[in-house]
């Protein structure tokens, strides 16, 4: 782990930009330190890390993700998530506890959305029986980011979307005033509408009065909803 951390720290430090770091922290509204390394630079670091420290098994997967997640800079945490989502053979139900930790501790959209969609959502799609109990608990959890995760974990399911479950999740959270939940409802419905516009249209018309204006607008963005 020390060698992995040292490589990542050296690679990020060599690309650091103090001015960009200030802007990135301001954009994310965080006091967490940045190196000032944007996406292109982080991809270069990830490739160097992958070449020298390949993920060969689930124990290594969890250790690498955890080691970088516990580092202080935001880019290090981004790389932890990159490892988590890119090594698809290990994006499985038995790692939901790891993903939950990233979501709860991350507690902001740049961390949560990547884990929710590309880790939790993929595990949910591939192992429904094993993951659905957690998804069902999270939709009613006190932690807002877990509730958001349940909603957007459906995003990439396309024709395999469990529409009844998606609609149920949306209605269970329809009364919330939290922006990130209202946005998530609209986002998940808008994405499913690309696959099944008629179903989403019917759902929106039926539940128009119960959904927030933000959720309805987001969901119906590419649909023709009668007035």
Residue-level pLDDT at 112:
98
Residue-level pLDDT at 137:
97
pLDDT digits (tens, 9 = 90+) for 200-211: 999 999 999 999
Angle at 140 between CA 171 and CA 82, to 5 degrees: 100
Angle at 96 between CA 95 and CA 100, to 5 degrees: 125
pLDDT digits (tens, 9 = 90+) for 10-28: 999 999 999 999 999 999 9
For every residue of 20-88, DSSP letters joined together read HHHHHHHHHT--S------HHHHHHHHHHHHHHS---SHHHHHHHHHHHHTSSSHHHHHHHHHHHHH-G
| DSSP type of residue 195 | T
Q: How confident is the model at residue 227 (pLDDT cuts 50, 70, 90)?
A: low
The alpha carbon of 202 is separated from its chain's Cα centroid by a whole number of angstroms, namely 28
Mean of all residue pLDDT scores within the chain: 97
- The answer for residues whose C-beta is within 8 angstroms of residue 95's C-beta and 6 or more apart is 58, 61, 62, 84, 119, 123
Residue-level pLDDT at 226:
72
pLDDT digits (tens, 9 = 90+) for 142-151: 999 999 999 9
pLDDT digits (tens, 9 = 90+) for 162-199: 999 999 999 999 999 999 999 999 999 999 999 999 99
Residue-level pLDDT at 225:
86
Can you give the pTM of this predicted structure? 0.95
pLDDT digits (tens, 9 = 90+) for 28-85: 999 999 999 999 999 999 999 999 999 999 999 999 999 999 999 999 999 999 999 9
Question: Computed over its alpha carbons, how large is the radius of gyration of the chain?
Answer: 19
Terminal Cα distance for the chain, rounded? 59
Residue-level pLDDT at 1:
84
CB 32 within 8 A of CB 74: yes
Domain 2-155 has CATH 1.25.10.90: yes
Residue-level pLDDT at 224:
87
Higher pLDDT, 177 or 226: 177
Structure tokens at 40: 């292109």
The residue extents of the domains of the chain are: 2-155
């Amino acid at each position: 782990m020390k060698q992995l951390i040292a490589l990542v720290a050296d690679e990020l430090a060599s690309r650091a930009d103090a001015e960009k770091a200030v802007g990135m922290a301001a954009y994310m509204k965080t006091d967490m330190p940045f190196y000032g390394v944007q996406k292109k630079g982080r991809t270069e670091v990830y490739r160097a890390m992958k070449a020298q420290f390949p993920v060969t098994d689930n124990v290594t997967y969890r250790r690498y993700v955890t080691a970088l997640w516990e580092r202080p800079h935001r880019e290090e945490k981004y790389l932890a998530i990159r490892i988590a989502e890119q090594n698809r053979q290990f994006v499985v139900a038995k790692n939901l506890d790891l993903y939950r930790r990233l979501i709860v501790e991350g507690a902001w959209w740049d961390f949560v959305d990547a884990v929710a969609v590309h880790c939790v959502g993929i595990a949910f799609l591939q192992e429904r029986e094993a993951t659905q109990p957690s998804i069902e608990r999270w939709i009613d959890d006190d932690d807002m980011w877990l509730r958001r995760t349940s909603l957007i974990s459906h995003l990439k399911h396309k024709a395999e979307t469990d529409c009844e479950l998606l609609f149920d999740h949306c209605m269970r959270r329809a009364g919330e005033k939290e922006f990130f939940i209202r946005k998530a409802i609209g986002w998940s419905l808008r994405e499913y509408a690309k696959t099944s516009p008629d179903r989403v249209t019917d759902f929106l018309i039926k539940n128009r009065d119960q959904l927030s204006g933000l959720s309805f607008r987001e969901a119906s963005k590419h649909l023709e909803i009668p007035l």
